[in-house]
Amino acid sequence: MSHTKETKQVSRSVAVKAAQADFASTFEAFKEANDSRLDALEKKQSDSLLDEKVARINVALDQQAKHIENLAITAAQPSLGGAVMNTEAKSAWSSYMRTGDGSALVSLEGKSLSADTEDGYIAPLETESRIDTALIEASPFRSIATVRRVGSGYFKKPVSAGGGAAGWAGESEARIETQAPNLELLEFPAGELYAMPAATQTLLDDSVADVDQWLADEVRDIFAAQETAAFAAGDGVNKPRGILSYNQVADASYSWGNLGYVATGTAGGFNSDAPVDAILDLIYAPKTSYRAGASFIMNRRTLGEVRKFKDSDGNYIWQPSTEAGQPSTLLGYKLNEVEDMPDVASEGAVMAFGDFRRGYLIVDRQGVRVLRDPYSAKPYVLFYTTKRVGGGIQDFNAIKLLKTSAS
């Protein structure tokens, strides 16, 4: 590793540690202010200034957490020159991206690159890998769900909905006739996700600039925002099906094909006397085998409410992460922020808990297509970039919801 790269890594590490120290300090200030607010409430002495202070520090915690996340993403980005594309393919792809000349790509069709002059060109695997890596870093769902790459735009998966019999038998004992498992065929069609980043000709003319990394960085946030919204609440029409789009039933009446939920007991909020009880009930809703790899998802406004809660021993149930790039925890379980989850006042499912790796499947169709457009937004060059993505629940036992409702 060169001295320059070492210096950059040290600088990033120092920045992350400084940001974490600020975050820890702000959380201590938050706890002190919230303790004062709770004391005032117990004495029936509402203090609007304290309420405003807690809310202000809560916002600061969200901002600092986002800053640390951005630092972690930057630190994880691959360095220049890391691609392993062969020289011929790399030169052909670079020529197309920088000048629009796709003649070399046409001659490479059937090798490492595939060409289609009307719809653009399928990016090399190395370029696609950079985009996928950037997405994993920016997408909360991709970090916790199962991601499967397929070669077609439609994936079908047979799963067991229960009903199969099993047992033990001695070496010489007769085996009882076992019941065939109840299999269901789940379908995961892939919809087209697209982004259209713009580049200046100056950037494209710069031979030192890493155009592939620029493309990955530009589409990362757009792709992540669109697909996260779909993974949370998508209707499955030309997009993934989100967890909130499935039928929801009280967990006591749960059956396969539905998502079980736990109610807070209060419409549009948490029980004011015991707000933590519903979250504990949510934790114990999935079977034990699903809790080992379980985590929470909720939006930052719900997190702002939950951050104020204490357990029966007076300890805050939310704890900040001690390591950059790792999520904070709630009652010991990892917590991931998903902005597209509903707010507490919505009386809907504001929180989900479970083993999302076993419960939710993301399907990526191999092949990212890029169409260079130098005409539509002169003097800028647009890169119409498409990726096909599907998704949906693959195990309904693995995920449970928390609804801010009376029942």
pLDDT tens across the length of the chain (407 residues):
444 445 555 555 667 677 777 777 787 888 888 888 777 777 776 677 778 888 887 888 777 777 666 666 555 554 434 445 567 778 888 899 999 988 887 776 555 455 555 678 888 888 888 898 888 888 889 989 999 998 887 888 888 776 555 667 777 766 666 666 677 888 999 999 999 999 999 999 998 888 988 999 999 999 999 999 999 999 999 999 999 999 999 999 999 999 999 999 999 999 988 999 999 999 999 999 999 999 999 999 999 999 999 998 999 999 987 776 678 999 999 999 999 999 998 888 999 999 999 999 999 998 899 999 999 999 999 999 999 999 999 999 999 999 999 98
In-domain check, residue 275: yes
In-domain check, residue 107: yes
Q: What is the DSSP letter of 236?
A: S
- Same domain, yes or no: 146 and 19: no
The CA-based dihedral angle spanning residues 262, 267, 269, 271, taken in that order and rounded to the nearest 10 degrees: -70
- Same domain, yes or no: 145 and 242: yes
State the Cα–Cα distance between residues 313 and 186, nearest whole angstrom.
45
- Same domain, yes or no: 207 and 246: yes
Q: Give which of 333, 342, 355 is closest to 305, Cα–Cα.
A: 342
In-domain check, residue 88: yes
- Same domain, yes or no: 39 and 122: no
Residues in the chain: 407
| Angle of the 125-138 helix axis to the 211-233 helix axis, nearest 10 | 50
Which residue among 76, 92, 107 closes a domain? 76
In-domain check, residue 31: yes
In-domain check, residue 145: yes
| Angle of the 48-76 helix axis to the 125-138 helix axis, nearest 10 | 160
- Same domain, yes or no: 156 and 253: yes
The total number of structural domains in the chain stands at 2
In-domain check, residue 175: no
The burial of 404, by beta-carbon neighbours within 10 Å (0-12 exposed, 13-18 middle, 19 or more buried), is given as buried
- Same domain, yes or no: 258 and 197: yes
DSSP 75-137: HHSPPTT-----HHHHHHHHHHHHH---HHHHHTBTTTBEEETTTEEEPPHHHHHHHHHHHHH
Q: Are 146 and 358 in contact (CB under 8 A)?
A: yes
- Same domain, yes or no: 48 and 95: no
Cross-strand bridge partners of residue 193: 387
Cross-strand bridge partners of residue 371: 384
In-domain check, residue 325: no
| Angle of the 48-76 helix axis to the 3-42 helix axis, nearest 10 | 160
Question: Residues with Cβ < 8 Å from 28, sequence gap 6 or more?
Answer: none
What is the pLDDT, as a whole number, of residue 334? 94
- Same domain, yes or no: 69 and 212: no
Which residue among 76, 95, 119 closes a domain? 76
79 phi, psi to nearest 5 deg = -80, 160
What is the pLDDT, as a whole number, of residue 338? 94
Q: What is the pTM of this model?
A: 0.80
In-domain check, residue 308: no
- Same domain, yes or no: 67 and 88: no
* 65: enclosing H helix or E strand: helix 48-76
- Same domain, yes or no: 120 and 240: yes
Which residue among 76, 99, 116 closes a domain? 76
Hunting for tokens 């990033």 — which residue is that? Answer: 12
Q: What angle do CA 386, 300, 331 make, to 5 degrees?
A: 115
Instruction: Give the structural domain span for 67.
Output: 3-76
Label residues 125-147 b or e (16+ Cβ within 10 Å = b).
Answer: bbbbbbbbebbebbbbbbbbbbb
CATH number of the domain to which 264 belongs: 3.30.2400.10
- Same domain, yes or no: 285 and 188: yes
- Same domain, yes or no: 7 and 154: no
Q: Are 84 and 64 in contact (CB under 8 A)?
A: no
